[in-house]
Amino acid sequence: MEQKRGDELLIGGVGGGGIVTMGNMLAEAVLQEYSHVAWFPCYATMMRGGESECCVIFSSEAIPSPIIYRSSTAMVMGAWRIKAFEDRVCPDGLMIIESTGADQQKIERYDIDIRYIPAMEIATKLGNVRNANLVMLGAYVGIRKPVAPPLILNEIEKRFGKGESGEVKVIAGKQAFTEGISLVS
């Protein structure tokens, strides 16, 4: 059986922006294809509005620690966090940046792949800015291809399909996720 490469993903943003939810959904999805998965959320003193960070590591080999400072991939949702995460990407790594306000931040590295994703803009056009995290997750899955998209779509159903408005949330979430994939295809 072919061993999959795996990845280390650091996600940074603001508490309440779906950082931890996005990381958890990815961890649940990759758990179906990788034998070793670590999900490590971390938030500052204020969960909503404070700094929020999440690390997801998945591999076919044992993971020595769920806590890492540098990773092969970093995703930043919030222009003010770009500088803090720029040095946390390994050489030849990938940095995915939500583009709102990012034009004012100068990135000094030329040894990483940098992708700007207008996730907030797209989520707003789709009707719910809170789905920007799913646009970003779609972009990540479209670029790195850690799992088949249906595994994430199933996680969206599990996560948002409950309650009276569940069906509406699932449809909107799936649309945001697939829009993120199509942005990088």
For 115-149, write each residue's pLDDT tens digit. Answer: 999 999 999 999 999 999 999 999 999 999 999 99
Residue labelled with tokens 């509406």: 168
C-alpha distances (whole Å) from 89 to each of 5, 86, 175 are 17, 6, 29
- Residue 5's φ and ψ, nearest 5 degrees, are -70, -45
Q: What is the CATH number of domain 7-184?
A: 3.40.920.10
Identify the three-state secondary structure at position 151: helix
Q: What is the pLDDT of residues 96-114, one digit of tens each?
A: 999 988 877 788 899 999 9
Domain edges within the chain: 7-184
pLDDT digits (tens, 9 = 90+) for 18-68: 899 999 999 999 999 999 999 998 876 555 667 788 999 999 999 998 888
Under 8 Å CB-to-CB from 94, ≥6 apart: which residues?
A: 72, 73, 74, 112, 113, 114, 115, 143, 144
What number of CA atoms fall less than 13 Å from residue 58's CA on the CB side? 24
What's the predicted TM-score (pTM) here? 0.92
Q: Express each pLDDT in 135-185 by its tens digit.
A: 999 999 999 999 999 999 999 999 998 888 889 999 999 999 999 999 998
Give the pLDDT mean for 67-71: 90
Task: Give the integer Cα–Cα distance in Å for 131 and 119.
Answer: 8
- State residue 1's pLDDT score: 40
